[in-house]
Structure 1
Amino acid sequence: MSATVESSNATQPVDIATMPSTAAMLLGPDDAPEALLPGPEELDTLTVMLRDHLELLIPEVERQAGQLPKKSTRRYCALACVGEARRKLRLGDGCTPPTRVAVVRKLARCVNALCDHYQNLRAE
Structure 2
Amino acid sequence: MSAAVEIGNAAQPLDIATMRATARRALTEAPFADELGMLTLTLRGHMQLLIPEVEMVAGREPKDSTARYCALACVGEARRKLRLGNGRTPPTRIAVAQKLARCVNALCSHYENLGAEQP
What TM-score results when the alignment is normalised by the length of structure 2?
Answer: 0.87
Matched, 1:100 2:98: no
Instruction: Give, in angstroms, the shift of residue 123 of structure 1.
Output: 5.7
For residues 70-121 of structure 1, the C-alpha deviation after alignment (integer angstroms, 9 at most, x for no partner) is 1000000000000000000000000111110000000000000000001111
> RCO higher in 1 or 2 (8 Å CA, sep ≥ 6)?
2
In 2: Cα distance, 1:93 partner to 1:63 partner: 28
**Paired position in structure 2 for 1:117:** 110
Q: Specify the alignment match of 1:18 in structure 2.
A: 18
Contact 2:20 2:104 in 1 (8 A): yes
State the aligned residue count.
111
Contact map agreement 2:74 2:106 (CA 8 A) in 1: yes
| Alpha carbons 2:57, 2:116 under 8 Å: kept | no
Aligned-residue RMSD, C-alpha: 1.5
Query: Which residue number corresponds to residue 82 of structure 1?
Result: 75
Identify unmatched segments of 5+ residues in structure 2: none
Cα distance between partner residues in 1 of 2:116 and 2:56: 14
Alignment map for 1:32-111 (pairs within 5 Å) = 35-111=28-104
Letter in 2 for 1:115: C
Per the alignment, in what secondary structure is the counterpart of residue 122 of structure 1?
coil
4+ residue runs over 3 A deviation: none
Residue number in structure 2 paired with 1:6: 4
